[in-house]
Structure 1
């Protein structure tokens, strides 16, 4: 890709978003959130005398990776203002009121003029891009001002454009970064092949985040009353494809089930209630009933899932039958054996690792779930799987500390 092609791509991407916005809510939010961004940015930062650190996340998953570093930075350097940007509405709209950041905005489209203006207004002293974010004009604008630019929780794969013969333009983007904090050794080897050596394997900051959640879990008395000492399976980030596999299992099982859909849509939740033969209720309805009388609880709000896993003996994590597996580190932290679909989990290192270690299983069908659940239910197997998962998370913590040590050295110069 050349600069001309890159700029053409950005232009047509903007056009596509504009054309889709009347028909697609996400596209509409994408545009509305960027409307008059320059003036809103100037207004927000008007009068600010504090140094600014800029964190950029593509969406919600990357936010969870950046969050422990943001919070550690805020604690270590309280004199700094944290400026947080998102690319996607699915991140911004959920976390636009996050109290760990002083300013929260959408990232403008990556054009030369936008990037120069943005950096001139924000005036960051240090910049953190999380995982996959490699924007040409923004990285160039930061690099030209000699601002430290760090990529954290980064992971590379051989199939990415950087490692193709036609990827020289994209490699130039990588070479603007001051330092890479990588998730695994394979990523380091790939960068070494490009003669990019300002990197280290520090791990994934998500481990620090989920471990902190486990250390201070929220108490949910309504969930405890629903559970009522019954063995419970937590179904996290469920899609229709996951429920299609789970329905027969739920209907015949002696377990209780707590289901947190990936998207809170009435038609999806209503369809579940019709398909389940067991007594089913939504979380919002619990105050009007005796929770102990129900076997299936559907969570009809956002934000509870990470705390729900504390109340489960088993977890089924959604997404792997479709776009991709959701977060399995949260249930792993609580020492829960994990099931997930068999179609799309290979990109997630933790899924591969936990399958090999014996703490998780990928499931192709209802029949396979029933069979594998029987295996996991045996006391000795269950205890081993539980310990494997908890140890896996604990042994992979520490990335945030490494990033902060480096940051302190840079800022002390």
Structure 2
């Protein structure tokens, strides 16, 4: 299995280089990984003490952030290296204040793992959720370097629990401790004789709870809302935007404001969305030249402010579950105590099941269901308020993973 894995990794390396000229995202990753060792060698010296945080992409970074921030505060004399596998994480968080150095993780070959750890030599490594690379982890274990996995979720059909998954199973044993999101994941680990586990829950609850402690004021959003009911549609895709535009266009009598924050902010898609709306619409990029209080729709053609915008919502729609792109973060609006509407493709999102069961989240499969659900939430203020309260309570009751992790690390 080791031989086959290493052959597959080398083959993947060749394929990625071949595809790179034709795919911008892959090209960024290939070029970024090529620069990693030069970046590290320029910044890290033999005498530096270091910590290493690794995330697959942006979602895992946000998940691990409350732990990263706590470690940053505790280990203020250490250099912190943050690595990403995906360009979508690196490109957005390459200037993260939680780290001194942000790089792409090199391809998981034995040679790269040895070279990376020769330079970094981390006192502690923190991996988030699932991005498990056997050669890096086995090298960490051989060197007796401390590593933990946080917010982990496992399923019985994964390779770790198959007879042919020995190399991946061994990689798990490189972690001194694994913090799982649920009891099922812990039981699966116990079944392969990995016992250093704690069911701590999902650190995303701590991440979104911290949002309540931030200054979420956005004066231009306040001006736009103008004390009216506000529906915030976050991380939307075209299939959900069609539902939204149809609802808005066919209900002009509703005294409601709408904020739409598309996942894809390419100019063509933003203009298509704006053109589909038959009402006064303002863009974030043009807000200085708009009379925001007169607009009915505000399109957010930028990134990084959605978590603050939810503070102004009375109702939220979260994209990704109408099509097959994957449901986006529903905990961000939930923490503000507002009801949430999503599509019906959410099977890999346990928090969605819980929020639906609690009565704070509602699923829709078509335009008719979307219209009916939104109209109910807009017109029945008591129902809307009580539904939202259930979401806030759910987030509060499931926070606390970070404390358990820090206690284990004796911080």
Q: TM-score, normalised by structure 2?
A: 0.96
Distance between the aligned counterparts of 2:369 and 2:15, measured in 1? Answer: 42
Distance between the aligned counterparts of 2:17 and 2:84, measured in 1? Answer: 19
In structure 2, the partner of 1:229 is 227
Conserved in 2, the CA contact under 8 Å of 1:241 and 1:322? no
Per-residue Cα deviation, 1:176-211 (whole angstroms, up to 9, x for no partner): 211001111111111111121100100111111111
- Find 1:193's aligned residue among 177, 191, 194: 191
Per-residue Cα deviation, 1:373-410 (whole angstroms, up to 9, x for no partner): 2333423322221111001111111111111111127x
Distance between the aligned counterparts of 1:383 and 1:219, measured in 2? Answer: 21
Partner of 2:106, secondary structure, is: coil
How many residues get paired? 406
Q: How does 1:223-372 map to 2 (within 5 A)?
A: 223-253=221-251, 254=254, 255-320=256-321, 321-343=323-345, 345-372=346-373
- Find 1:391's aligned residue among 390, 393, 405: 393
Q: Output the aligned Cα RMSD.
A: 1.3
Distance between the aligned counterparts of 2:47 and 2:166, measured in 1? Answer: 40
Query: Which aligned segments of 4 or more residues in structure 1 are displaced greater than 6 angstroms?
Result: none
- Find 1:94's aligned residue among 92, 113, 116: 92
Conserved in 2, the CA contact under 8 Å of 1:217 and 1:310? no
Distance between the aligned counterparts of 2:218 and 2:132, measured in 1? Answer: 40
* Uncovered stretches (5+) of structure 2, i.e. residues with no partner: none
The structural deviation recorded for 1:228 is 0.5
Per-residue Cα deviation, 1:121-170 (whole angstroms, up to 9, x for no partner): 00100110100011011001111111111000111112211222322332
Distance between the aligned counterparts of 2:147 and 2:172, measured in 1? Answer: 10
Conserved in 1, the CA contact under 8 Å of 2:138 and 2:170? no
Conserved in 2, the CA contact under 8 Å of 1:70 and 1:82? no
In structure 2, the partner of 1:43 is 42
In structure 1, the partner of 2:204 is 206
The structural deviation recorded for 1:234 is 0.7
Distance between the aligned counterparts of 2:375 and 2:295, measured in 1? Answer: 23
In structure 2, the partner of 1:25 is 24
Conserved in 2, the CA contact under 8 Å of 1:3 and 1:169? yes
Per-residue Cα deviation, 1:249-291 (whole angstroms, up to 9, x for no partner): 1223422111111121111111111111111121111111210
Conserved in 2, the CA contact under 8 Å of 1:234 and 1:258? yes
* Uncovered stretches (5+) of structure 1, i.e. residues with no partner: none
The structural deviation recorded for 1:359 is 0.6
Moved more, 308-317 or 9-18: 9-18
Distance between the aligned counterparts of 1:368 and 1:8, measured in 2? Answer: 50
